[in-house]
Amino acid sequence: MAGITAVLTGRLARRGTLLSIAIVNGDAIACRMSEMTARILDPAAIEQKLSLNTYNVDAERAHIRIIDSEVCLKCVRQQCINCCPANCYAPQDDGTVLFSYEGCVECGTCRIVCNQFRNVEWTYPRGGFGVQYRFG
């Protein structure tokens, strides 16, 4: 089906990030993080709630990885950095992106926003590993 098929807006952050993604013809085309929104959403309260979560990190298997760091050099927007609510993607001085899976909240955002190069290999953690949500 042609055209916009979905607009997803969610509060997905430890820091109160608002994320908006429009799905057009099966591709995500937009991602927005608003400083103003972050203030409105009371990041301290979100931080407090998310601090209740626990993580059982699988040291033997990264459930997400960047397939080819060289490809990230061609990615102008590098949406993964701004859109990951857990700050798992960090820009490097050489233009590549460093990924750390330990704090991942398994939202799936990076899988969607890396739509141009499809450079993120994404799976869930093995059973018993990963984030354990304990929202109050």
CB atoms within 10 A of CB 14: 17
Q: Give residue number: closest CB to ligand SF4.
A: 75
Q: CA nearest 135: which of 101, 105, 108, 112?
A: 105
Among 17, 120, 125, 130, binds ligand SF4 (CB under 6 A): 120
- Cα separation of 125 and 12, whole Å? 19
Least Å distance, CB 1 to ligand SF4, is 25
Q: Does 21 bind ligand SF4 (CB under 6 A)?
A: no
Q: Does 112 bind ligand SF4 (CB under 6 A)?
A: no
Among 72, 82, 129, 136, binds ligand SF4 (CB under 6 A): 72
- In sequence order, the 6+-apart residues with CB closer than 8 A to the CB of 25 are 1, 2, 3, 5
Among 20, 53, 78, 82, binds ligand SF4 (CB under 6 A): 78
- C-alpha 13: how far from chain center: 9
Which chain residues interact with ligand SF4 by CB under 6 A?
64, 66, 71-72, 75, 78-80, 84-86, 88, 97, 104-110, 113-114, 117, 119-120
